[in-house]
Amino acid sequence: MSEFAKTKHRQSACLSVPHRQPYLDLIFSASTHLMRQFTLYIDNEVRGPHTEAEVQELINLGTVVPDSPCMPEGATEWLPASQFFTFAAKIKLSKRLEANEEEIALEANRLNPDDRRKLMMYGLADAATVDQINQTQASTILAEHENNLKQINKKNKIIVGTIFVLTLLTTVSFGVFTDIGGSLVGKVVGQFIKDDPKLPDSMRRFSNETQRFQELRTESQNAVFAKPTGGQSIQPSLNARLKIPATTGYSVNGKVDLKPLNEMLKRWGIKPDSEIKLYLLPSEAPAEVSQKITDQAAVLETILAPVADIATLEKIKSDLISSFPIETTITESTALQTEIKNLKLNEVRASIERVEYAAREATRVAQENESKGGPAAEDAKIRRSWGNNLRAFAGKLRDLENRFQIWSNPNNRKKVWSEFNSGPGSELAAWILSTEAKLIPVNETGEFTIPECANLDKNTAANSILVSTRINGDSVFLAWGSKFLASQEIQSTQIPRDVFLAREQYKVTTHTITGNRPLVVRYRVGDRELSIRRNSPKWYFLNVAREKDSDSLVVLVSAELQEKYPVGSVVPYSVLLDLELFPRPTESITPSPFTAAE
């Protein structure tokens, strides 16, 4: 019996034995052994894990050699591939051995060792049945099996590539921010991996990468762009920029009462005028004007006073001479004092003119010397004070003259009044009109309100408020606090700053829009880099300023407000109060996972 026949007989006998468990265990063990997976290190690259069949194919192709680093699944170190796989020995025979006919026939039917290993590696045969297959059968079986493996691998590659490309195109079509577009990659590939758990590690990595890309897509969808930081209330800045003039910060209330004047007029049969005017002076009256107001009050008091006798006039004259303003440093003072000492009642007019002339000269010299500095400036200061005192003294002389005229002829009262009003009185009225004094309305009971003025009390009001009425057709101007008035105390109330802030004219100078910057999230899936793009939100700003401002305020507004207030328009105070002030136009901080697109 030939060796092939003997072997076949032994196998048949083995298969015919009822107790075949050891054979089945051998088959199960071989199958389990073939299921092992190995990781290889080839051409400076880690590959795998691969099944034994895939490794054996790489050995057959020459990709894996005996020294190739190999690591079985679960191992922790690299070992030569020869420790796990059998490599064909490359033996060169120097002499061909002669074989008999029986050996030649046996050799013709013997399997190629490589094909024998492939049959066992692919699970197409086991150690008990592999020798029953001849070389021709083995070649046919292996060719068909390896062709099937190539078709499967090719199919897998085509499926994965097609899925990837189609998914990318679908993602672009639907947009990475939609559920259907952004999740197609993960869903399709995940299903593919689920259907075939034996896919290589590269497919698992691809699945993990697509899953991470889907997570980034969700994260980018939920990214919140916060409002620009650095804003603050605009109220403090508006308050700091507001400048309220000292003459307009208060509201003043008061009441005019002419009862003292009217009582004196009635004694002489003069009918009081019902018209009352109140003037608010823009500034304090000059000394010359104040003197005219004082003189007018003195004349009014003279003509309304009872007739004085000669003894009374002499007493007034004596008191007047003793009140002459002496200034020892001024030469003219002594000479003028000597003249006044020799004053006669019928020569009062000449003395008045002499005193008024001296007052004017003193003022003129003071104006010339006050800018020279040193002793000249000190002398100017003295002369200006002396000149003011001389004017007041001239007013007393005029009162004495008027009293003398009235004493000598009671009918001179009207004449005295008319003469004053045609001279100093008319000059006083003209000055009031030229200063554009503000006429304040007075109601029937004499009450008045000055809506905006300086902080006034009974002292400061004497230089700022004039009460006017008419006597026999001539105007009379009385300072606040005059003896002819019984006016109550005036009350000053500070006006709230908001009243003035509401009048501020803040105009739009510039429109600014920030944001809308392209942002991106990049992530590599397989050999392709995918990106999720989104623009940062737009933020709208107005630059506002008043006419004389050298800089502007930057406020954050809505798109609607920016459109509502074009450049050049005024933004009301009520609108400004609700806006935030920023140092400069700014935008949102870029949230994770976005970065600025290049």
Is residue 148 pLDDT above 70, yes or no? yes
* Domains contained in the chain, number: 5
Clarify whether residues 388 and 529 are in a common domain.
no
Does residue 407 contact residue 308 with C-beta atoms inside 8 Å? yes
3-state secondary structure of 39: strand
Residue 227 lies in a domain: no
Q: Where are the alpha helices (DSSP H) in 305-347?
A: 310-322, 331-341
Is residue 241 pLDDT above 90, yes or no? yes
Is residue 143 pLDDT above 50, yes or no? yes
Clarify whether residues 468 and 524 are in a common domain.
no
Clarify whether residues 98 and 131 are in a common domain.
yes
Range of the domain at 543: 232-241+504-596
Residue 363 lies in a domain: yes
Q: How many residues does the chain have?
A: 598
Six-digit token pair at 586?
A: 């700014």
Is residue 90 pLDDT above 60, yes or no? no
CA 434-436-440 angle, 5° bins = 135
Which pLDDT does position 417 carry in this prediction?
A: 85
Largest CA distance in the chain: 189
Confidence of residue 18 (pLDDT cuts 50, 70, 90): very low
Residue 557 lies in a domain: yes
Least confident residue range of 38-47, 104-113, 309-318, 464-473? 104-113
To which residue do tokens 């054979």 refer?
23
Calculate the average pLDDT of the chain.
80
Convert the pLDDT of each residue in 181-223 to its tens digit: 444 444 544 444 444 454 556 667 877 888 888 888 899 889 9
Residue 87 lies in a domain: yes
Convert the pLDDT of each residue in 374-432 to its tens digit: 888 888 999 999 999 999 999 888 888 887 777 767 677 788 888 888 899 999 999 99
| Rg of the chain taking only CA atoms, in angstroms | 60
Clarify whether residues 437 and 528 are in a common domain.
no
Closest CA to 109 of 132, 143, 140: 132
Across 291-297, average pLDDT:
90
**How far, rounded to the nearest angstrom, does the alpha carbon of residue 334 sit from its chain's CA centroid?**
75
Which pLDDT does position 195 carry in this prediction?
A: 45
Clarify whether residues 367 and 326 are in a common domain.
yes
Which pLDDT does position 155 carry in this prediction?
A: 60
Least confident residue range of 76-90, 537-551, 579-593? 76-90
Choose the final residue of a domain: 402, 435, 451.
Answer: 402
CA 250-256-261 angle, 5° bins = 145
Question: Which residues contact residue 211 at a Cβ distance below 8 angstroms, ignoring those fewer than 6 apart?
Answer: 186, 190
- What CA–CA distances, in Å, run from 524 to 201, 211, 213, 285, 532? 17, 12, 8, 87, 12
Clarify whether residues 479 and 553 are in a common domain.
no
Across 333-351, average pLDDT:
86
Clarify whether residues 27 and 103 are in a common domain.
yes
Choose the final residue of a domain: 128, 151, 174.
Answer: 151
Clarify whether residues 48 and 130 are in a common domain.
yes
Does residue 72 contact residue 94 with C-beta atoms inside 8 Å? no
Report the percentage of the chain scoring pLDDT > 70.
79
Long-range (24+ apart) CB contacts under 8 A made by 68-74 are: 68/40, 68/41, 68/42, 69/40, 69/41, 70/38, 70/39, 70/40, 70/41, 71/38, 71/39, 71/40, 72/36, 72/37, 72/38, 73/36, 73/37, 73/38, 73/39, 73/49
Distance separating alpha carbons of residues 200 and 193, to the nearest angstrom: 10
Clarify whether residues 285 and 416 are in a common domain.
yes
Clarify whether residues 454 and 415 are in a common domain.
yes
Clarify whether residues 323 and 385 are in a common domain.
yes
- DSSP bridge pairs for 51: 37
Confidence of residue 308 (pLDDT cuts 50, 70, 90): low
Which pLDDT does position 163 carry in this prediction?
A: 53
Convert the pLDDT of each residue in 465-502 to its tens digit: 999 999 888 889 999 989 999 877 789 999 999 999 99
Residue 184 lies in a domain: yes
- DSSP bridge pairs for 477: 468
Choose the final residue of a domain: 495, 519, 536.
Answer: 495
- What CA–CA distances, in Å, run from 375 to 38, 378, 381? 116, 5, 10
Clarify whether residues 210 and 254 are in a common domain.
no
**283 burial level (CB within 10 Å; 0-12, 13-18, 19+):** exposed
